[in-house]
Amino acid sequence: MSEDVRAYSTTPKPLTHHEALLVHHYTEYLGRWLDCTDASRQFTLSVSEKRCITLLIDRLNEDAASHDETLLCAIVILRFYEQLNVSSSTGLDDEKHLAGCSAIIRTSQGHHFVDPSAPTLREAAFWVHVRQCLYSATINQQPLDIDFSLQLNPNPNSMRDSHPLARLRLETAWSNQMVWLTACVVNFCFEAVDPSSERACRPQKWQKLWDLVHAWVNERPQAFNAIFEGDASDSSAFREIWFTADWHVIAFISYQFSCIMLLSHKPGPKFAIRNVGTLSEIDRQILSHAGAICGASKSSPETVPSSIMLCHTIFIWAPLVTKPKEQEEILQLLSDFEEANLWPTAWIISAMKIQWGMDQWPVLGTQPSLSP
């Protein structure tokens, strides 16, 4: 610990019934949201032992705050709280804590490597921050506030450990590697580029990212494969896709979204006007990946971050969804998500209704039947 960081008390503080209830709720539900790519569940098991957020806020202005992993975790959680408190009807988000977390992480990054296996709380907080940046960047269609000169070390392919619990570290690394690739893809698609250099370099950058994304899906451990994939049915427009762990679901959706982004922003000549009522081959591929996101999200409602990913990726692929049954089911997924978890989706539903030119949609909490 840095000399400038004040030591934390090692004496446990007794909790009131209300405080204990909040900690219990965090460990039972909210910690899982933050640990969705961390098989060792550090935000659930370790953060709950730290001091309360109110006391930590007073220390954020200390000179050595950037070197204190407890404070870093605190500001990540504050950003999480900030997201939950966005107005459901407007979606307005000033992202104060997201900017603060980015500043602390940049200041504390003393080297140019980040461990995808997240062996400490600092690394675990970094990966939560990356996912938070992805959410904001996709909705606002802007680059991520992340240092992309960072390199992942070790590479998951090189990790060898015979310890029985090494699998947790390995699966965390593979999951976070896919999250990092998705962040790189989104940043590539939304970064400002010089038109002259774009013609020369952008196709090569695109191809490199495409190859890396597909290398991940080809080399990932078998445990990341779905344990079941069903077909769409009369009761659902999307196929069932089941996994055995949260980080498998998130990695799967991240892969699908990376493909959508790269297909949507593939360099090359494009027609200014599309044929009305027809879909290109690329459009069909995008819809296939989007359907996979919807199916995986619907099949794993307990993996809340999968629904969070649905909330922000939808702004990229929604214009291609033209079937009323799919549109209605997507809106119902969003409505159910807010009702069950209080994540603000009413503003997204309104945006989708405008995009799809739909008539009145029932108010939040009602259960309309889907069209056959």
pLDDT digits (tens, 9 = 90+) for 67-78: 678 888 888 888
Strands 241-242 and 228-229 turn out to be: antiparallel
241 secondary structure, DSSP code: E
Residue 198 confidence (pLDDT): 65
pLDDT at 67: 63
Segment among 101-115, 168-182, 280-294 with least mean pLDDT: 101-115
CA separation for the pair 291, 326 (Å, rounded):
9
Q: Report the distance separating Cα 90 and Cα 271, nearest Å.
A: 34
Confidence (pLDDT) at 19: 87
Looking at per-residue pLDDT, the higher value among 109 and 248 belongs to: 248
Per the prediction, the chain carries an average pLDDT of 87
Contact 331, 353 (CB under 8 A): yes
Which residue do the tokens 């900690």 mark?
23
Question: Is pLDDT at 365 greater than 50 in this prediction?
Answer: no
Residue 64 has pLDDT above 60, yes or no: no
Of the pLDDT bands very low, low, confident and very high (cuts 50, 70, 90), residue 367 is very low
How confident is the model over 313-341, as pLDDT tens digits? 999 999 999 999 999 999 999 999 999 99
Section 294-308 average pLDDT: 97
Contact present, 350 and 360 (Cβ < 8 Å): no
Task: State the pLDDT at residue 194.
Answer: 73
Q: Are 313 and 139 in contact (CB under 8 A)?
A: no
The Cα-based distances of 370 to 69, 154, 230, 323, 335 in angstroms read 47, 47, 19, 12, 14
Q: What is the DSSP string of 86-132?
A: S-TTT-----HHHHHHHHHHHHH--SSEE-TT--SHHHHHHHHHHHH
